[in-house]
Amino acid sequence: MLSRLASCVVLLALSGLAQTPSPAPSLRIFHDQALDITFAYPGEFTPVTTDSTKTQSSSSSEPQCVRSLLSAGSESKQGSSAFVISIINNACPGVLKQAEQEGSFTREQILRQLKQYGMASLTQEPFRYSIESRPAAVTLAMAKPDDASVGGGHVLPTYAAKACFLNNLPEHSSSKQASAASGEVICFDFTTQNRELLTRILSFTVKFGDGDMRPIVPGNALH
């Protein structure tokens, strides 16, 4: 009788272990000392470059309007994914002014960026929110490869999310005009070949100075 009871206890213990949730995937941390801003992202993403990139221009002497802070990629059986975190500052006032309109800017830019993958279309209009009182917006889109570019092979659609937010809290004067002298907009671009992997954007977080980690894209942004 005692032997059977012991066997049952062992089986129950093993069953409990089997149902124990697996540990959460590790996170990588990236800190930009100059900006005093910290990002955390899923560990399966491998950083590929931190070199600066420029907006499309016909002259290399033009000011650098968009600077890449971090980019990384991930390959799995589910498909490939990649992200880029970049910053836009007042080196190009015109570009910065457009970027400060986070909703329309993310909408326009994501469609433009996805054209390289085929016919681009929105899957979700800009969703506006805030990160520690900083205005932010995210837009979702996808691109289907052109039939002519497929060449008889099977090419997966590309799904993407673009979120932009102010790095500095808006400063309001008595005349209700925001100060743009030190304006900076940070953008987060995510692309993937698997629509289900779009939920990975919810794992990316950001921290300003000594503040708390906050989601770059909140859960209620994905409809």
pLDDT along the chain (223 residues), means of 10: 41 40 71 95 86 42 83 90 96 93 97 95 96 96 77 77 90 47 86 93 96 95 84
| Residue 166, in any domain of the structure | yes
| Residue 11, in any domain of the structure | no
CATH label of the domain that carries residue 85: 3.40.1000.10
Paired strand residues for 27: 42
Range of the domain at 31: 24-51+65-171+179-221
Structural domain count of the chain: 1
| Residue 36, in any domain of the structure | yes
Instruction: Name the strands in the sheet holding 184-192, side by side, starting at the edge strand that comes first in the sequence.
Output: 46-49, 66-76, 79-89, 184-192, 158-166, 134-144, 119-131
Rounded to two decimals, the pTM is 0.78
- Residues ≥6 apart with Cβ < 8 Å to 168: 134, 182, 183, 184
Largest Cα span, the chain: 87
| Residue 7, in any domain of the structure | no
Q: How far apart are CA 191 and CA 3, in angstroms?
A: 57
- When the pLDDT of each residue in the chain is averaged and rounded to a whole number, the result is 81
